[in-house]
Amino acid sequence: MNRFGGDLFLDVLDDGIVQGVAEKAAPDLVKNFISGISNPAMFFPTIYLVPAIMKYEGKTIIHVHIPPCVEVHSFKKVIYDRVDDADVKVTSTAQIAQMYIRKQDVLQKRKFTHM
């Protein structure tokens, strides 16, 4: 959430192999996901995401689209930034300020493309 958004596919490995979830377990996984991201003690500010249960290659997966956001989010009161495939802990106020500036640039670009 602290970069440019993207898509999350639950039970699809980094190398693209689809493992899938048990079809009967998928609704509970979605509920747990929503409970987690809606809990301000876990994620702040909370964000509204809509996971979708779908079939791919005959297996059940859960897809979550994460839109770009102008806010800086924290997980358990720690701010992280995504660098390549790593989540990096951000502690410097200058780094946090740069994140806000980057996010404002994203918002400005969205405004101009929707005019």
Annotated domain spans of the chain: 6-113
Residue 14 CA to residue 95 CA, distance in Å, equals 28
Residue 69 CA to residue 99 CA, distance in Å, equals 11
Q: Which residue has the tokens 């440019």?
A: 4
2 confidence band (pLDDT: 50, 70, 90): confident
Provide the CA 10 distance to its chain's centre, in angstroms.
12
Region 69-83: mean pLDDT is 90
Q: pLDDT per residue over 5-47, tens digit each? A: 889 999 898 888 999 999 999 999 999 999 999 999 999 999 8
Q: Among 56, 70, 63, 73, which Cα is nearest to 19's? A: 56
Count of Cβ atoms closer than 10 Å to residue 110 Cβ? 12
The residues with which 90 forms a beta bridge, in sequence order, are: 79
Length of the chain: 115
92: its two tokens:
């410097």
